[in-house]
Amino acid sequence: MFSVEINNNKMKILECREKAYSVISKNKKFLCSGIYGIINIRNSQYIIFIVDSRKVSTFFSSDVFEVSKVEIILLKGSPETQYIYGLRSVLENCGIYFSKTFLYKNISFDKNKKRLKKDFWFNYNPCKALKVYDRDLISFSVRCIQGYFNSMTYGSTKITLISRRCWRRCGARFFSRGVNKQGYVSNFVETEQIIQIDNKVIHAFLQIRGSIPLVWGHKVNLKYAPEIILPEKNAQFFFKSHDLLLSKYGSIYYINLINDTNYEGILYKAFNKLRNTIRLNNFNYHKLQKTLDLEENKKLSKQIDKILDKFNSKSTIKYQKGAIRINCIDCLDRTNLMQYIIAKHLVKRLFGKNFLIYNSILRLLWFYNGNMLSLQYAGTPAIKAGLLRHEKYTVNGYLKDFYYSVQRYFINRLFHGQIHDAYNILTYKKYIFKDKATTKLSIQSFVMLSLVIYVYKYIIDFKIPLLKYILYFLIFFTFNFLS
């Protein structure tokens, strides 16, 4: 911890008294856990301090903290207050973690293998800018990841789950899809499961997820599932992405969970045109959702076992030689369940009949992992997460899924332009989102939301709480039909 004092537009770090920095701010004094870095918004420059954090666990003897509050101080230029809310939303509510141990480096792959480790150092560019601003401030900076981190212990066994979200093409759900020219896909996350006994690592396995590696997007409107826009020429961008994964992880095994019909069908067909050039398994995860057990599907179970053996995932700790890449349309709800199913299968192979002791820990870790990654990309907790929490669908689970679906609908249309701006600023993208069509969509969504709230309050006055779900359903799908 260190102290920062601002007086008469001069900022001092009290542990480094010999320097004073010019700022544009009210007089204040606060304690800090670290400096997140420096960001630029148009012609203005800000420095971000982490002023509050909570300890979530430990990682190889080092405490791991999650950011809960930041102080954003203007260094120069004019205040850009319209972006501050979005920045705070991302930094304070969306799983930003730091530790003395470098969380952005995994342990599942050979350290000598060519890997772009800085892809998961989420504040890489803000730290780089901080170094340019003043090298002496680097000692106060922290290296962060965005994603999820936690560990749970049973006896002498500790299970850690860590998800690292790549900053190269992060963003908000409908505004960040597919692959770019450099081969980076939207919502790309590596999730590593680490098992220790008596503080010794006996098992580590890493899975990856990411948007379907084609150039695609949406024509966003009031429809729940907006139309997918997909250019005809796409193969070159896919191979760019595939080659990037090969250089980082070795052999890649694709599991595709999207549907071959309805609005997802166009992506399914385009992705499967490349099937002969990669190892791709199209799988309907609904066949496993009753038990969440891979062995329910013998064919897939045998295929996965072969892949796992090839990737060196047996009990003795070895470096992985490849990775399983899973996707659905958002790489959130279905993907998280499928990754849990594979993670559970691995623990079964490791502990045999005793795996049931650890399954409740696994379910909780993957439940919270799914919720956090979903909040970061879609703005709500994960849908179908109740399957992980309770190992079955409950009435409450169905109602929650419906509520989150409606909530996600409005959040994505009302607020995600602002959140996407925040991601662009934090990751040093030059493009600031400003679109008249999006403004029009936000107004339409706001009117629709106002109508829902008005009628909802009317129903509550008549003390018929169950009808709120019917109300949501009717209004939601009426607008979907009309649009």
**What are the boundaries of each domain within the chain?**
33-403, 437-482
- Please tell me the pTM assigned to this model: 0.89
Could you tell me if 389 and 396 are in contact, meaning their C-beta atoms sit under 8 angstroms apart? no
Could you tell me if 388 and 401 are in contact, meaning their C-beta atoms sit under 8 angstroms apart? no
Q: What is the pLDDT along the chain (483 residues), one digit of tens a residue?
A: 899 999 999 999 988 767 899 999 999 999 999 999 999 999 999 999 999 999 999 999 899 999 999 999 999 999 999 999 999 999 999 899 999 999 999 998 866 555 557 899 999 999 999 999 999 999 999 999 999 999 999 999 999 999 999 999 999 999 999 999 999 999 999 999 999 999 999 999 999 999 999 999 988 777 888 889 998 788 899 999 999 999 999 999 999 999 998 889 999 999 999 988 999 999 987 777 777 888 888 888 888 899 888 887 555 566 899 999 999 999 999 999 999 999 999 999 999 888 889 999 999 999 999 999 999 999 999 998 888 888 777 888 888 898 899 889 888 888 888 899 999 999 998 766 554 445 445 555 555 555 555 555 555 554 555 555 565 555 555 544 444
The residue type at 240: K
Helix runs in 226-354, H state only: 235-249, 265-272, 298-310, 333-351
Q: Rounding to the nearest 10 degrees, give the CA dihedral for residues 357, 363, 366, 368.
A: -120
Closest by Cα among 118, 117, 128 to 40: 128
Token pair, residue 50, equals 């982490």
Measure the N-to-C terminal CA separation of the chain; round to a whole number of Å: 53
Token pair, residue 81, equals 């207050």
**Rounded distance between C-alpha atoms, residue 203 and residue 196, angstroms:** 7
The residue type at 427: T
Alpha-carbon separation of residue 123 from 203, 223, 231 (angstroms): 29, 35, 33
